[in-house]
Structure 1
Amino acid sequence: MKIAYCVLGTFNSGGMERVLANKANYLSKIGHEVTIITTDQQERVSYYSLNTAIKCVDLQLNYTDDLNKGLVTRLIAYTIKQKKHRTRLSQLLKKLCCNVVISLFDHDATILPQINDGSKKILEIHFSRYKRLQYNRKGFWKWVDAYRSYKDLSLVKKFSRFIVLTEEDKGYWGTVPHIHVIPNANSFVPKNLATGSNNRVIAVGRYDAQKNFSDLIEAWRLVANDCTDWSLTIYGHGPQKQQLQQLIDRLDLNNSVTLHPPVVDIEKAYTDSAILAMTSRYEGLPMALLEGQSCGLPLVSYACKCGPRDIIRNGFNGYLIDESNVAGMAAQLVKLIRDPALRIHLGKNAAQMAHNYAEDKIMNQWLSLFEDVLRVDKDELKYKSV
C-alpha cells in the first residue's frame, strides 16, 4: 500500500510524534510505501529517527509563525494559508497516488475530505472529544474553541474512518457510525524492568498547562516532608519551564526536584525510577503511562479525560486520583514510597498489562482497518460495474 500521514511537523519530542514515527517505521519495514507530509517542519530534523525509505515532504506553510500576531492579522494569515494548503496538498496527493491518507487532526483535517485524489481518508485524534475546550483559553478564543469543538462532530463524519484512542473518548462522540478505537502501542520493548529500589519518582511531558506539573510539584512538597531521601525528576521542555523552576525555588525543593531536558532514549530514565506520576488536565492516551508501565513502574495519575482510566486498574497496576486532588496525589506517592513490596507487586502487574499494547497487536489492528476500508472501496466499484 501507499500510505501518507499529514501532521504539523516531526521535530517535537511529544508523544504524538513518537507514535507517528513508530507507526511509519513499522509500516515501512514490512514493505509499505510511507510518506509523511508536514506543514511547519522548516528543515528541522525529525526528533525520532525515521527509516530512510520513508519520504518526508514539507508544504512550507508555517502556521506556527503567526501564533504571536494580532487577532485580525492571524485570521487573515490563516485563511490565506488554508487556501495554499489545499492547493499544495491536492497537487502532492495526486502525484503520490496513495491508497490511504491519514490526518492527525491538524490544519489539514478540514481540507483532506475535499481532495479527490482516489485515496481513502482516515482521521485520527490524539487527544479527546473536548480537546479544544480543555485549552481553557479566554476571551474571543474561548468562543472560537467552543465553535470548533461543535463543528468537529460534522467534520469527522466526512472521513471514511475516524479513530480514537480510548473507549472513554468513543463514548463522548455519540453515534458516529465509522468510529473505531485503536490505542497507541508501546514505544519500545524494554531490555530491563525497573527494580523498584531506586528512590526516584519520574514524570514525563511538555512543560505546559496541559501537563499541569505545578500540581505535581505542589504534591511533592507534601511528599518531601516525610520522604527526605527520595527525589522527583520531570523530563521535558516547554513554555512553563521558568514558571515551574520558580515554583520549585519558592517551595525550597531544589534538593529533591529536577527539571530535566527530554532524552531520545527515555527507557533508562524509566528503569532508573521506582514510580511514575502524572497530573495532566487532559490527555488522549498518555505515552508516559504506557512507557512507564512497560518498564514495570507502578502508575499514579489524575483520572483526567482521556486515557488513565483505560490504562490503570486502580490498586492493580497503580492508582487513579481525582483531578486537582494534590493531597490525594501526595498520599498515594507516600504510600508506595513507604511500601517497597507494594511497589514491586504493582510494577510486575504493570509489566503484564503492557502486553495489551504490544506493537504487533496494535499495528495489526491498523492493517486490518486499511484492508477493510480499501475492500469496501473495491466492493463498491464491483457493485457499480454490475
Structure 2
Amino acid sequence: MPKTAKKYKLVYLTPALYVAGGVERVLTLKANYFAEHYDYDITIILTDGKDKPFFYPLSPKIKVINLDINFEELWTCSFIKKIFVYLKKQRLYRKLVEAELMRLRPDITVSLLRREINFLTDIKDGSKKIGELHVNRANYRNFEADDANCVKRIFAKFWMRNLVSKLKKLDSFVVLTNEDRQAWPELLNVSVISDPLSFVPTQVSMMAEKRVMAVGRYVYQKGFDLLLQAWSIAEKTHPDWQLAVFGDGDRTQYQKQMRELGIDSNRCHLNGPTSNIQQEYVNSSLFVFSSRFEGFGMVLIEAMACGLPVVSFACPCGPRDIVKNGEDGILVENGNVEAMADALSRLMGDDTLRRSMSQSGIMNVRRFNIEQIADCWRTLFESVKKDC
C-alpha cells in the first residue's frame, strides 16, 4: 500500500457471520486484508447470530456490533404474522443502523444488499454508500418463476423496480462479473470487482490421479443431475476414470438417479463436505462445473489455482469471466449434457492437453489473488471519496 494512501473508516452491513457461506467467507477475507494490510478502521454491523461464534476467523482489529434484531424469527412465522413482525423489526433495524452510523461517522458504508438497502441512502451520516451483490440479477431474490402466479409476478416486478430506484442512489454498485454488469442497463454506477481466491495453494495437482472432481451443495442450482447424465455417457469411454463430488445437502435423489442411469457406483462417489478441499483438488486431474446459474463460481478459481483444467457450463454468471475457453478449460453450452460429456471425454483422453491447461490456469487465476482484488476495492474507495 502506498505510504500516501488514505486510511478509511469502513462499516459493513450484513446479517450474520456464524454461517459457512460464500458471502461470509468473502467478507471476512476482504475485511481481514483491509484491516491488516491497509490499516483501515473496520466495523461490521450484524442483525442475527447473537453470541454465536464466527465461522471464519476475523482479525482482532475488526470491531463487530450485533444489533440482535433476529430477522431469523421470520422463518418460523405464519404468512400473516410474518408481515407484522417484519415491519416491526425493519423499523427497529433502521433506527439502530442510523444511530450507529451517526455515532461512528464512517467514510464509507458498504451494504451486502439485504434489508438495509431500503433505507441506507436516506441516512445522512456523511458516508459514501456502496452496495455489493453476490448473485446475478436473474437470481437475486428469485421468486421461483416456474410456479409463480400472477400476483407473485406483479409483486416481483414492483420489487425490482423499487430496488433499482434504491441502487441508483448508491455512490457505487458492485457486481462480480462483466456479464452481470450488462444485466443492469438502468444503472450508471456499476463497477465490477470479482471475489478473491480464498486461499493460496501450498501444492498443485501432479495430474497423476484419473479423477474428475466437482464441488457444491446438492441442490438444483448446482446441476448435479445434469452432471450425472453427462458422466453416464463419458464413463463408458474411460473406464479407468472416476468422478468424485463433494458437498453438503441431501444426496438421496442423486443416488437414485445414479441407479437409474446405470452409473458404476465404484467409480462415481457422491461425498459429503470435506474439511480439506485443497487436498481433494490436488488429488484430482480435472474439475467439472455443472451449475445452472451462479453469482461468480469461487470453486472454479480454487480448482484452477490448484492446477485443475475445467469443463464448465457457460452458465450465468461467472464461468465466462473466469475460464479462457480452450486455454485453461472448456466452456460448453449451458445445460447441454452431450456437450459436457464430449468435453469431459476429450480431456480425460488427452494428458498433454490437460497438463497444458493446468499450467495456463495456474497463471490465469493469479488475477483473483486477494492482493489484486483488494487493490481494486482501494481504488474504488478512493474514487467515491475523491470529491469530498
Q: TM-score, normalised by structure 2?
A: 0.89
Displacement of 1:122 in angstroms is: 0.3
Could you tell me whether the CA contact under 8 Å between 1:133 and 1:149 is conserved in 2?
no
1:150 is matched with 161
Question: Counterpart of 2:42?
Answer: 34
Contact kept? 2:143, 2:152, Cα under 8 Å = no
Given candidates 49, 52, 55, the residue that maps to 2:60 is 52
SS in 2 for 1:13: coil
For 1:3, the equivalent position in structure 2 comes to 10
Q: Secondary structure at the match of 1:48?
A: coil
1:344 alignment counterpart: 355
Report if aligned partners of 2:238, 2:345 keep a CA contact under 8 Å in 1: yes
Which residue matches 2:3? none
Report the CA distance between 1:95 and its aligned residue.
2.7
CA separation of 1:8/1:133 partners in 2, compared to 1, >3 Å: closer, same or farther?
Answer: closer
Q: 1:35 to 1:347 in 2, by over 3 A?
A: same
Flag the 1:249–1:75 CA change in 2: closer, same or farther, 3 A. farther
Residue 209 of structure 1, CA deviation: 2.5
Alignment partner, residue 121 of structure 2: 113
User: Which region of structure 1 is more displaced relative to structure 2, 132-141 or 49-58?
Assistant: 132-141
Identify the residue that residue 307 of structure 1 maps to in structure 2: 318
The aligned length equals 376
Equivalents in 2 of 1:190, 1:162: separation in Å? 31
Which among 207, 229, 243 is matched to residue 253 of structure 2? 243
TM-aligned CA distance change 1:81 to 1:213, over 3 Å: farther
Distance 2:85 2:306 in 1: 45
The separation in 2 between residues aligned to 1:42 and 1:256, in whole angstroms, is 44
User: For residues 100 and 79 of structure 2, what CA distance do their matches in structure 1 show?
Assistant: 31
Q: Which residue of 2 aligns with 1:219?
A: 230
* Counterpart AA for 2:369: A
Q: Does 1:328 align with 2:333?
A: no
Structure 2 Cα separation of the partners of residues 83 and 133 of structure 1 = 21
Alpha-carbon offset, residue 348 of structure 1: 0.9
| Higher alpha-carbon deviation: 300-309 or 90-99 | 90-99
Does the CA-based 8 Å contact 1:38-1:59 persist in structure 2? yes
1:79 aligns with 2:90: no
Cα distance in 2 for residues equivalent to 1:119 and 1:264 = 40
Aligned position for 1:15: 22
Shift of 1:237: 1.4
Which deviates further from its counterpart, 175-184 or 18-27? 175-184
Distance 1:295 1:366, change over 3 A: same
Q: 1:57 to 1:210 in 2, by over 3 A?
A: farther
Shift of 1:352: 1.2
**Residue 197 of structure 1, CA deviation:** 1.8
For residues 76 and 253 of structure 2, what CA distance do their matches in structure 1 show? 20
1:247-258 maps to which residues of 2 (within 5 A)?
A: 247-251=257-261, 253=263, 254-258=265-269
1:235 counterpart letter in structure 2: F
Superposed CA offset, 1:241-265 (max 9, x none): 4433443454454323333333454
Q: 1:189 aligns with which of 180, 200, 213?
A: 200
For residues 231 and 362 of structure 1, the distance between their equivalents in structure 2, rounded to whole angstroms, comes to 35
CA distance in 1 between partners of 2:187 and 2:276 (Å): 38
The C-alpha deviation readout for 1:136-183, integer Å capped at 9, x for no partner, is: 353354544343233332121111111111111111111522211111
- Where does structure 1 lack aligned partners over 5 or more consecutive residues? 379-386
Cα separation, 2, equivalents of 1:116 and 1:76: 27
Instruction: Quote the RMSD (CA, aligned, Å).
Output: 2.2
Secondary structure class of the residue paired with 1:210? helix
Equivalent pairs: percent with the same residue? Answer: 33
CA distance change for structure 1 residues 154 and 361 in 2, over 3 Å: closer, same or farther?
same
Q: Which residue of 2 aligns with 1:383?
A: none
Q: How far apart, CA to CA, are the structure 2 residues paired with 1:39 and 1:260?
A: 33
1:359-370 maps to which residues of 2 (within 5 A)?
359-370=370-381
Indicate conservation of the 8 Å contact 1:15/1:286, yes or no. Answer: no
Q: Match of 2:355, SS?
A: helix
Aligned residue number for residue 163 of structure 1 = 174
Report the Cα distance in structure 1 between the residues aligned to 2:71 and 2:290, rounded to whole angstroms: 29
- SS of residue in 2 equivalent to 1:118: coil
Deviations 1:5-64 (A, max 9, x none): 112222333322221111011011021122222222243322222112222222223333
Deviations 1:347-372 (A, max 9, x none): 11111111222221111111111122
State the distance in 2 between where 1:241 and 1:75 align.
34
| 2:382 is the alignment partner of 1:371 | yes
Aligned to 2:137: 129
